[in-house]
Amino acid sequence: MIKFKNIENMTIKELENKYPFSLSFYENNNLNIEGFNDLTFIEYLDHFSEDDIEQWAIDIEKIKNDFIHYLNEMMMFLGIKEDEGVDSLTIVAGNDKSGNKENFDEFTINKGEIISIVGPTGSGKSRLLADIEWTANRDTPTNRSILINHKKPDMKWRFSSSNKLVAQLSQNMNFVMDLNVKEFIELHARSRMVENEKEIIRRIIEAANHLAGEKFDLETSITNLSGGQSRALMIADTAILSTSPIVLIDEIENAGIDRKKALNLLVKEDKIVLMATHDPILALMADKRIIIKNGGIAGTLETIEDEKKLLIELQKMDDVINGLRLNLRNGETLENNKLLKENYYA
């Protein structure tokens, strides 16, 4: 529950960022906060003169109490609890497909870390992502359990639709709704009760087109988007609008988008990012990697300095391949190609 001491040092702007629905309280109570964004709520209330208080029958103490009551009511309605940040996620060992215990006891991932999940096709990478999404509690085929902040997570993480722990980007993105791109983003923005809706929509479409090979606009029907365009839209939407503290990505290299740009967009300091991948560049961009074999976690590795040096060389090669891909899309021939001459021909 929010208490006034929790917010008394927050500015109007900070309150708006943390509790966007606070703007409705000001509006409903005829409180004009324009020009007062850098003041705390108490400082704003203190700006009223004695004449203002008498003329408008302003009850400062009642406004304070009503404000706290309103914030708590809205938090309850939206299914949000105060101060429930996710600082770490811990995977507790289960078993592989043969029933053997996994080759570790616990593996903890901290906020701000990127973890890659590697292994052969069918080895169980997607199963690990599913265990994390559903905060497994010894009740999945792997018998793993997931801890949040080193504790058994609240059941709300499984069943709440308004306060999701995880944003997951799967290999396939198929839309069935009869909406255009603008209407789709608007629905999500309104569900998050954002105030700067137009700016959010602009940022999402701009970011999506930065990732997609073929650009699209706000009037494009989402059912007409290609696989790469759909994935680009969902990545941009997740990065900019989602409040989920954990992002799970399943084989982003197969999306038909610029995967490095996508990862850079998703990675924020307040997120935990796990990605199943066959791509050596993405694997080495991670801080650590989990190795999956026969349905179980066979081990974990930290990205070492020599691998980081190798990553630089792999990225140079990747830039050349992406340049050639762009040449092909533009209908150009690759004979005597400038990129190849500059990088590989003597």
Class of domain 88-175+229-303: alpha beta
**Burial grade of 232 (CB within 10 A; 0-12, 13-18, 19 or more):** buried
What tens digit of pLDDT does each residue of 96-116 get?
999 999 999 999 999 888 999
Higher pLDDT, 79 or 152: 152
What is the average per-residue pLDDT within 14-26?
87
**pTM for this one?**
0.69
- pLDDT surpasses 80 at 45: yes
For position 269, what pLDDT does the model report? Answer: 56
What tens digit of pLDDT does each residue of 148-180 get?
999 988 766 665 555 578 888 776 666 667 899
Query: CA 183 to CA 235: how far, in whole Å?
Result: 17
Amino acid at 156: K
Structure tokens at 109: 């991932």
What tens digit of pLDDT does each residue of 261-314 get?
888 787 765 789 999 999 999 999 999 999 999 999 999 999 999 999 999 999
For position 254, what pLDDT does the model report? Answer: 59
- Torsion of the alpha carbons at 120, 124, 129 and 131, rounded to the nearest 10: -170
Of 85-94, 199-208, 269-278, 296-305, the range with the lowest mean pLDDT is 269-278
pLDDT bracket for residue 1 (50, 70, 90): confident
* Strand partners for 297: 292
For position 256, what pLDDT does the model report? Answer: 62
What is the average per-residue pLDDT within 227-242?
86
Query: CA 127 to CA 147: how far, in whole Å?
Result: 17
Among 22-36, 147-161, 183-197, 229-243, the range with the most confident prediction by mean pLDDT is: 22-36
